Amino acid sequence: VSIRRAQPVSVVGAGLAGALLAILLARRGFAVSLYERRRDPRRGTPEAGRSINLALAARGIRALEHAGLMERVRPLMIEMRGRMVHEVGRPAVLLPYGQRAHEVIYSVERAALNRLLIEEALRFPGLALRFNTLCNGADVPGDALQLHDAASGRDYHAPLTPTIATDGAGSAVRASLQRAGLASVREEPLDHDYKELTIAAGADGCLLEPHALHIWPRHGFMLIALPNTDGSFTATLFLPRTGPVSFATLADASEIEPFFAREFPDAAPLLPDLRQQFARHPQAHMGTVHTAPWHAADHVLLLGDAAHAIVPFHGQGMNAAFEDCYTLDRLLETQAEWGALFADFERERRANVAAIAQMAIENYGEMRERVLDTRFLRQQAWARELEREFPERFIPRYSMVMFHPEISYAEALRRGAVQQEILDALSQHAGDSPCFDWASADHLIRTRLSLKAP
């Protein structure tokens, strides 16, 4: 089916990716129908959901800028300059994320960002947003998008071709493609769960440093906290589901306060209503979703978490979903057919999304464990020195992912592995010395790392 101006296009799910994508499509003149199962967030309080705030970084910002939205998004953003590491019995230490002033990430409230995107989407007269509309799946042979209007209780169909499904990690569209044998789906659950807790603002403002992402790394588990614009923090406890230190052991409510007092002694006093919050807030699962293919001919494409949900430890799920939107919009300039567009999109994104899925899992180990390891911290300091000396060739992997959208995720993974080998070789040579051998570093970097490639 060829791509025509003013053509109807359906988008399922007005979450972060769906709302942004609908804006980009409406800007190009398509007649977008956007279906969302939730009620209109502009009416009443938002529904409770996953993660109250999120880390926004350069890839997400590039997509929002591309859509002309950054001016409105900026007031929602709180700069986080690094990880503030809290060890038991020691003062907290800030490990900066980058070494240039702009190398920071931002905390944004999910509900506020989503509401803003929805408001912007509704400014396009060619865009129809249907709230309280549940999608039950895609009937590809029948060319029908199956919908249910919660207000009237009515089931109805809309033409399927073309539809872009952004209905999140539990995608109904993906499930329907799987049932029809059109996609294979593998869910890789993590054996750790999470629970969110709110640290309220104090009488005179924030109770923690506001310009940092706080981490309490405890090897097998961790607590983190991200700032909110009202001076509060959203903390998240990541913990194994079962085992000696786990959510299972905290099922006995009398264990919760002693556990926090022992493991997070500086955070515990900031959570006076810990037990009540623990009982009220859900314990949620995480995992990686692998789907292949992401599209069914020219009928339907899965995008964002619907195609590739990842674990949250690199703070990149939303950023990757926004980068999906940016990529699809750019490809619309070159493609004349929906099927070819969807295939091009999948070709360009698949290896990159696999790379960030892997890096996100690896980053859990970094956050809960390696930030406590002196060898890791020494290598990080060296990596920063090497970046200053060879800024075109050596960029720490975290920085490539968070601050360099011109370097793809797959390339960041590949270059990161070579850089790690170089750091390991320098460590081996240095022994216990805090300094590395510049001549070896220079040789290894010039021979093993080419100039920065996009």
Residues that bind ligand FAD (CB under 6 A): 12-18, 35-38, 50-51, 54-55, 134-135, 166-168, 172, 194, 236, 304-306, 312, 315-319, 321
Cβ neighbourhood burial of 304 (10 Å; 0-12, 13-18, 19+): buried
CA 177 to chain centre: 24
**Partners of 157 in the beta sheet?**
146
In whole angstroms, what is the distance from residue 344 CA to residue 6 CA? 22
Q: Cβ of residue 236: shortest distance to ligand FAD, in angstroms?
A: 6
Q: In the complex with ligand FAD, which residue's Cβ is closer, 166 or 379?
A: 166
Nearest to 17 by CA among 321, 243, 348: 321
Q: Cβ of residue 117: shortest distance to ligand FAD, in angstroms?
A: 10
Nearest to 289 by CA among 179, 171, 186, 167: 186
Q: Cβ of residue 334: shortest distance to ligand FAD, in angstroms?
A: 24
Nearest to 221 by CA among 236, 234, 238: 238
Peptide bond into 162 cis (omega under 30): yes
| Residues 6 or more apart in contact with residue 75 via CB below 8 angstroms | none
Q: Cβ of residue 108: shortest distance to ligand FAD, in angstroms?
A: 9
Give first-to-last CA distance, the chain, whole Å.
32
Q: Cβ of residue 230: shortest distance to ligand FAD, in angstroms?
A: 18
Q: In the complex with ligand FAD, which residue's Cβ is closer, 312 or 339?
A: 312
Q: Cβ of residue 32: shortest distance to ligand FAD, in angstroms?
A: 15
CA dihedral 49, 60, 190, 273 (to 10 degrees): -40
Q: In the complex with ligand FAD, which residue's Cβ is closer, 55 or 207?
A: 55
Q: Cβ of residue 443: shortest distance to ligand FAD, in angstroms?
A: 38
Nearest to 333 by CA among 322, 341, 325, 324: 341
Q: Cβ of residue 10: shortest distance to ligand FAD, in angstroms?
A: 11
Q: In the complex with ligand FAD, which residue's Cβ is closer, 317 or 396?
A: 317
Q: Which residue number places its CB atom closest to ligand FAD? A: 15
Q: In the complex with ligand FAD, which residue's Cβ is closer, 78 or 135?
A: 135
Q: In the complex with ligand FAD, which residue's Cβ is closer, 55 or 270?
A: 55
Residue type, 18: G
Q: In the complex with ligand FAD, which residue's Cβ is closer, 36 or 346?
A: 36
Q: In the complex with ligand FAD, which residue's Cβ is closer, 55 or 341?
A: 55
Q: Cβ of residue 417: shortest distance to ligand FAD, in angstroms?
A: 23
Distances from the Cα of 271 to the Cα of 54, 96, 257, 264, angstroms: 21, 26, 10, 11
**Partners of 187 in the beta sheet?**
289
Residue type, 419: Q
In whole angstroms, what is the distance from residue 409 CA to residue 396 CA? 13
3 state DSSP class of 177: helix
Q: In the complex with ligand FAD, which residue's Cβ is closer, 55 or 413?
A: 55
Q: In the complex with ligand FAD, which residue's Cβ is closer, 217 or 304?
A: 304
As a 3-state breakdown, the chain gives helix, strand, coil percent values, each rounded to 5, of 40, 25, 35
Q: Cβ of residue 391: shortest distance to ligand FAD, in angstroms?
A: 26
In whole angstroms, what is the distance from residue 238 CA to residue 51 CA? 12
